[in-house]
């Protein structure tokens, strides 16, 4: 057996971490990013398949918030009963590929692959998500905004597994929404995507969280636009181009050019808020 034939599928996290502490291994979950990137029938390096670790899959709600296991699939998220604050994440899950990809692709795979166009990132940013990574030496937690360090780059270390995503209790407040702009309606990689989570009190915006992806090296929150919404009835027109455009650094690629991304960003953010206005008025 050559090194490239080695395939591990442990049942426990402890076994997986022990293997990782010994030798570098390629972590595999749903493989929906790994296989297209590999362009071969088999993954080339020694593989650590983490989908046999039951503890890493599933969504738990507790007093400290919501915990999403690393190998939780997009389908699991769609099927889970979660507060309206998670509606943006659920909408994003429905737009990741088609049903087959949603059944295999995992939330941690989406984050670790670190594509600027990863649909899971903007809604998780509006939920103030933190990621937990474990190695044989222990665990650490990082805000998602610090975990993602650039296109295809993260704070992950080779002896670590991203084990869980934590959503703090306060982030279950309010309602969320997600909007994706693509060259067609379905099965498309985002040209840009936006997420919002709005907390209203007596019809006044008490808290606003807005995020945009695929318009900068990593998806970002939009603090000036959030401030502009806060303390008044929810009105998407309070957001101006300057509150958004100054934060973006889009690129030209096969899906759209930078100028198009800049032009559409404001409209996309406003449209992400519009359903939340209508729902409150009903
Ligand atoms: C046809 C098609 C359509 C797609 N459409 C979309 C789309 O619309 N939107 C979108 O955002 N994505 C899309 N994707 C990309 C992909 O499906 C998602 O990013 C998915 O969530 C990846 O999860 P996975 O479990 O398959 O990751 P994998 O392919 O198994 O892994 C991806 C990367 O993450 C690492 N990794 C995985 N889990 C962990 C962990 N727990 N700890 C540390 N490292 C880990 C792997 O080593 C690898 O580098 C599409 C892919 C395909 C093939």
State the 10-residue block means of pLDDT for the chain, 282 residues long. 76 97 94 91 88 98 97 98 98 96 98 96 98 98 98 97 98 98 86 96 96 96 98 97 92 88 95 84 48
- Model pLDDT, residue 2: 62
How remote is the C-alpha of 182 from its chain's centroid? 17
What is the residue with the minimal CA distance to atom 52 of ligand 1?
A: 32
Tell whether ligand 1 has an atom less than 6 A from the beta carbon of residue 123.
no
Alpha helices in the chain (DSSP H): 13-22, 34-38, 74-79, 87-94, 99-104, 107-113, 121-126, 144-147, 223-229, 241-245, 258-281
Cα 106 to averaged position of ligand 1 atoms, centre (Å)? 6
Contact 189, 182 (CB under 8 A): yes
Atom of ligand 1 nearest to the CA of 180: 8
Q: How far apart are CA 279 and CA 273, in angstroms?
A: 10
- Model pLDDT, residue 39: 83
Q: How far apart are CA 242 and CA 246, in angstroms?
A: 6
Contact 219, 210 (CB under 8 A): no
With a CB cutoff of 8 Å and minimum separation 6, the contacts of 101 are: 30, 32, 74
What is the residue with the minimal CA distance to atom 13 of ligand 1?
A: 96
Cα 104 to averaged position of ligand 1 atoms, centre (Å)? 9
Cα 49 to averaged position of ligand 1 atoms, centre (Å)? 13
Q: How far apart are CA 192 and CA 43, in angstroms?
A: 30
Atom of ligand 1 nearest to the CA of 35: 29
Cα 258 to averaged position of ligand 1 atoms, centre (Å)? 25
- Model pLDDT, residue 271: 97
- Model pLDDT, residue 42: 82
What is the residue with the minimal CA distance to atom 28 of ligand 1?
A: 31
Tell whether ligand 1 has an atom less than 6 A from the beta carbon of residue 28.
yes
What is the residue with the minimal CA distance to atom 38 of ligand 1?
A: 109
Per the DSSP assignment, residues forming a β-bridge with 49 are 28
Prediction pTM value: 0.96
- Model pLDDT, residue 150: 96
Tell whether ligand 1 has an atom less than 6 A from the beta carbon of residue 154.
no
Tell whether ligand 1 has an atom less than 6 A from the beta carbon of residue 70.
yes
What is the residue with the minimal CA distance to atom 41 of ligand 1?
A: 162
What is the residue with the minimal CA distance to atom 49 of ligand 1?
A: 113
Cα 96 to averaged position of ligand 1 atoms, centre (Å)? 10
């Amino acid at each position: 057996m050559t090194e490239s034939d080695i395939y591990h599928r442990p049942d426990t996290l402890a076994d997986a971490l022990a293997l990782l502490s010994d030798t570098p291994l390629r972590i595999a979950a749903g493989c929906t990013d790994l296989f297209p990137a590999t362009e071969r029938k088999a993954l080339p390096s020694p593989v650590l398949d983490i989908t046999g670790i039951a503890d890493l899959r599933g969504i738990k709600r507790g007093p400290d918030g919501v915990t999403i296991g690393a190998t939780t699939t997009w389908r699991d998220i769609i099927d889970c009963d979660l507060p309206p604050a998670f509606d943006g994440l659920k909408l994003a899950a429905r737009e990741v590929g088609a049903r087959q990809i949603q059944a295999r692709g995992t939330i941690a795979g989406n984050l670790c692959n670190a594509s600027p166009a990863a649909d899971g990132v903007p809604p998780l940013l509006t939920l103030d998500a933190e990621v937990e990574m474990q190695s044989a030496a222990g665990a650490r937690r990082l805000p998602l905004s610090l975990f993602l360090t650039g296109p295809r780059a993260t704070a992950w270390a080779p002896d670590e597994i991203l084990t869980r995503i934590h959503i703090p209790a306060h982030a279950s407040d309010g309602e969320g929404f997600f909007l994706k702009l693509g060259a067609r309606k379905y099965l498309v990689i985002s040209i840009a995507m936006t997420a919002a989570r709005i907390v209203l009190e007596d019809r006044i915006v008490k808290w606003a969280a807005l995020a945009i992806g695929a318009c900068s090296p990593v998806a970002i929150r939009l603090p000036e636009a959030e401030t502009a919404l806060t303390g008044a009835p929810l009105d998407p027109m309070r957001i101006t181009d300057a509150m958004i455009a100054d934060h973006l650094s889009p690129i030209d690629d096969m899906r759209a050019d930078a100028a198009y991304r800049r032009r559409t960003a404001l409209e996309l953010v406003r449209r992400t808020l519009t359903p939340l206005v209508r729902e409150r008025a009903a």
